[in-house]
Amino acid sequence: MTAPALQQPSSQQTPPGAEAPRALPPPPPAPPGAPSHRLRFAVGVLVASLVVTGLSWMLLSRARAGAALALEERKATVATLALADLVVRAGGSGDGVRQALAAWQQQAPAGAQAKVIAFDGLSLEAATDAGLGAPRRLQRDEKPLYDQGQRLRAAVETNREESVVRKEEVEIAAQPDGSLLLAAPVELDGQVRGMVEVRTPRVVVAPSPSSGSAGLALLLPLVAFFALALVLGERRVGLALAATFALALGVGFYAWHSVSVVVEDRRAASEEVADSVRTQAETARELISRLGLPADPPVVASSWDADAFRKPRGWLTAAGQVDAGVLAGRLAQASGDVVRALVAVALLALLLLQAIGLGSVGALGRTLVTHRRAYAYVAPALVGMLVLVFFPFFYGITLSFTDSNLLNTSRPLTELWVGLKNYVDILSDFDLSRTSADGARVANYTNFYWTLGVTVVWTVTNVVIGVSVGLLLALVLNTRGLALRPVYRVLLILPWAMPNYITSLIWRGMFHQQFGVVNHVLALFGGEPVSWFETPFTSFLTALTTNGWLSFPFMMVVSLGALQSIPVELYEAARVDGASRWQQFRAITLPSLKPALVPAVILSVVWTFNQFNVIYLVTAGEPGGSTEILITQSYKFAFEKYRYGYAAAYSTVIFGILLVYGVFQNRVTKATEAV
């Protein structure tokens, strides 16, 4: 034999899963004297209450801190926009501005600072800090101020041009010392001509939620459970219900507490903002009459309570009073959010409670201890798989029930929930053609069933080509005494060794319409150059050629390995019996190939079905997405059309197809083995 014999793997002698593993550790002993149901449920209630109270306390304090910060920002925005309004009325520069700033400072909280910048003459027009010596030209180290002003001007102009408000017109930056630094544009006659900058005094840290109510929320379920347990005794179902009730009691109490805290906070915050708006408005009116500033347009104080795009938030009436209707709506929304969050936490805790109470946690713990060595060996891989394979998978499935896209990724998934809509959209669209703008019927290549058809044709043709070419070459190479066999073998295996993205890009180059080698070869034999990527059929052929080229060596190597393991004696015996060459092939060669070829075909079906690189890099779906296969199509939905939810549903359908195929082929192989 000149060729290096392809070693049959020793692992095939004892195939995995063919027999039960011989375990080293003994079976787990039965737990001696399991603790009573009452004790277990008591522990469950304690743990679940701790979890629920702890988590909700954290959520509540975070929500309060967030609300406090938001309140400071609102108040600061009111102060800043009021100042900007005054500066505009005072003409943007000159003594009026300085008087307006002085009046503004009178009513501003102690420690608030402000600067007014005018772009004309690059000047610092006014500043609350007398040490800065306003008015004067901006100095070199104040360049960032000027840049910020220009940025705001650009934002205002962009928003106006696009008539879509997407650039922030008020910049708010939290400072390291806890104060806020705000900047707003000064607009004169529709043009941004300056900027005001306001620095608030230090923001007071939000109060933590009271620990008293948290303690009560912890104690309440325990007391309730003990009372009920005394009555119930050791009845499991009764205890489970009692524990659930006790937990619900605690959660209900804390939910009531949280909602009232949040609602009270919100109400107080609105009042506070309304107060500050009214004070600002009075100052403004007083100043206008004192300095004789233009009173037209009239002061609309509520417009100062605005977001970063200078759109009024709508909480206040024009007179600067809290709008009761709006407030009630927002409060209902806020308490709804609180209740939803608490219910989620409570369900988690309930699961934990029942797991502990019914003994699953105990059993789990005992199993972990008994088999700790095995679990220690599996743990690293398992954790990796859970975090980076299984969690993303289930997250992706969840995503498929939402309308998630590029514009709404920051919103929680529950708000984007659309149920089965994506699946219905994908699977119920049977229109393989549609009417284009000029009334003609054109094929609809983005239709799921078209792409599915292409994928099936793609998979079948590729596997047929791969198996036939590979098997033919293997049979030829298996000829005894054939010269140069190792050389042929290594050269024929090269396409498999090359990274397939490189292969794909090479073939894309070779199919180039003007410079590609394939068209040169056609021309050599008198053919016309073909624009390969302009019709679906030729475009499909390029991908098929590429994938055929890179996939036949696998089949060849697998077949060659199987062929070389057939004992020569079999053929000799057959010849003695007078079998013809064809009979020998049918009776000996083919059956011996089957155990190696069947798994190879199964593998290559899955590979080809998901062959992303070849389609994506060779045809890129051209023309018009007609040569897209399912996997590349779903990639395009996700990363070119940014329809994340739809793309996730599309991928889930692909997974479903593969799963059905997997189960089906498993049945078939089992059936063929049984025969």
Partner 1 sequence: MSAAPGERIPHWPLHVLLVVAVVLTIYPILWVVTIAFSGNQSLAISTLPEDPTFWDRLRAITPWPQTFSVSNFTSVMTEQPFGRWILNSAIVSLATTVVGVFLACTAGYAFSRFNFPGRRTGMMAFLVSQMFPGTLMLIPLYIILVQWLGLGSSHIGLVLVYATTAIPFCVWMLKGYFDTIPKDLEEAALLDGASSGQIFWRIILPLARPAVAVTALFSFMTGWNEFILAATFMDQELMYTAPVGLRFFVGGYSQQWGYFAAGSIIVSIPVVALFLFLQKYLVSGLTAGSVKG
Name which of residues 557 to 576 contact partner 1 (CB under 8 A). Answer: 557-558, 561, 563, 566, 568, 571-572, 575
Residues numbered 598-627 forming contacts with partner 1, rule: CB under 8 A:
599-600, 602-603, 606, 610, 612-613, 616-617
Q: Does 387 bind partner 1 (CB under 8 A)?
A: yes
Among 521, 534, 586, 668, binds partner 1 (CB under 8 A): 521
Output the CA torsion sign for 327, 333, 338, 343.
positive
Output the CA torsion sign for 541, 547, 552, 558.
negative
CB 143 within 8 Å of CB 135: no
* Closer Cβ to partner 1, 117 or 555, answer by number: 555
As to burial, measured by CB atoms within 10 angstroms (0-12 exposed, 13-18 middle, 19+ buried), residue 193 is: buried
CB 632 within 8 Å of CB 557: no
Residue length of the chain: 675
Q: Does 495 bind partner 1 (CB under 8 A)?
A: yes
Q: Does 369 bind partner 1 (CB under 8 A)?
A: no
Q: Does 654 bind partner 1 (CB under 8 A)?
A: yes
* Closer Cβ to partner 1, 321 or 478, answer by number: 478
List, in order, residues 6 or more apart from 520 with CB less than 8 Å away.
none
Here the tokens at position 534 are: 């302009």
Q: Does 590 bind partner 1 (CB under 8 A)?
A: no
Under rule CB under 8 A, how many of the chain's residues touch partner 1? 127
Q: Does 417 bind partner 1 (CB under 8 A)?
A: no
Say how far apart CA 521 and CA 515 lie, in whole Å: 11
Q: Does 416 bind partner 1 (CB under 8 A)?
A: no
Q: Does 60 bind partner 1 (CB under 8 A)?
A: no
Select the span of 39-47, 153-161, 289-297, 642-650 touching partner 1 (CB under 8 A).
Answer: 642-650
Q: Does 414 bind partner 1 (CB under 8 A)?
A: no
Q: Does 381 bind partner 1 (CB under 8 A)?
A: yes
Q: Does 1 bind partner 1 (CB under 8 A)?
A: no
* Closer Cβ to partner 1, 329 or 662, answer by number: 662
Here the tokens at position 163 are: 């008539």
Tokens 């990274």 sit on residue: 499
Q: Does 497 bind partner 1 (CB under 8 A)?
A: yes
DSSP state of 415: G
Residues numbered 336-365 forming contacts with partner 1, rule: CB under 8 A:
none
Q: Of the candidates 420, 519, 343, which has an alpha carbon nearest to the alpha carbon of residue 351?
A: 343
* Closer Cβ to partner 1, 34 or 406, answer by number: 406
* Closer Cβ to partner 1, 174 or 502, answer by number: 502
Among 482, 534, 640, 667, binds partner 1 (CB under 8 A): 482
Q: Does 30 bind partner 1 (CB under 8 A)?
A: no
Query: In whole angstroms, how close is the CB of 463 to partner 1 at the nearest point?
Result: 15
Query: In whole angstroms, how close is the CB of 479 to partner 1 at the nearest point?
Result: 6
Tokens 């998978």 sit on residue: 393
Say how far apart CA 505 and CA 628 lie, in whole Å: 17
Return phi, psi of residue 514, to 5°.
-95, -45
Q: Radius of gyration over alpha carbons of the chain, in Å?
A: 37
CA 137 vs CA 116, 122, 315, 591: distances in Å:
12, 6, 40, 94
CB 217 within 8 Å of CB 253: yes
Say how far apart CA 539 and CA 620 lie, in whole Å: 9
Q: Does 22 bind partner 1 (CB under 8 A)?
A: yes
Query: In whole angstroms, how close is the CB of 575 to partner 1 at the nearest point?
Result: 6
Say how many C-beta atoms besides its own lie within 10 A of residue 641's C-beta: 13
Q: Does 506 bind partner 1 (CB under 8 A)?
A: yes
Q: Does 595 bind partner 1 (CB under 8 A)?
A: yes
Among 57, 104, 634, 646, binds partner 1 (CB under 8 A): 634
* Closer Cβ to partner 1, 178 or 412, answer by number: 412
Q: Does 393 bind partner 1 (CB under 8 A)?
A: yes
Say how far apart CA 71 and CA 273 lie, in whole Å: 8
* Closer Cβ to partner 1, 296 or 673, answer by number: 673
